[in-house]
Amino acid sequence: MSYFDGFQNFLSGAYPYAKSLHIISVVAWMAGLFYLPRLFVYHAESSSFRDERDTLLQTMELKLLRVIMNPAMIATWFFGLFLVATPGIVDWSAVWPYTKLIGIVGLTCFHIWLARRRKDFAIGQNSIAGRKYRLMNEVPTVLLVLIVFSVVVRF
């Protein structure tokens, strides 16, 4: 047995564990992607720079991003790439892997956008109204629908 065959056997044997960890990571990441824009709504509409609410919301936003969202995003990508590398899992001649990838890249870009908005709040430079944050809160939902339908329906 070659090294490559051994690696493929490892990937295949670890598949259910990697898939489980991928799903757990996705759930944690999505929870943050849904919640952080909602915190920004409250922040934009009910606080002024360096008042008591601003300090509390900044703490909540920073911890959500650094303790939950960033590790969950990294784990989602890691275990997702692990699954993609597992033999026989992805049919690259189908459309669904590419639409899923578009959704994942979209979620990652949204995550980065949220991180930048958090920095704006931290320096007192937020220029976005609560209404826009409410609208942006729908972005992860739309991308989640694209990803789930891509994987389940496999068009």
In the chain, what are the domain boundaries? 3-153
How far apart CA 71 and CA 28 sit, in angstroms, is 9
Region at 99 (left for phi over 0; alpha for psi -120 to 50; beta for the rest): alpha
Chain segment 21-45, per-residue pLDDT in tens: 999 999 999 999 999 999 999 999 9
Q: What is the pTM of this model?
A: 0.92
Chain segment 80-119, per-residue pLDDT in tens: 999 999 999 999 999 999 999 999 999 999 999 999 999 9
Chain segment 54-81, per-residue pLDDT in tens: 999 999 999 999 999 999 999 999 999 9
| Cβ 76 vs Cβ 26: under 8 Å | yes
| Cβ 64 vs Cβ 115: under 8 Å | no
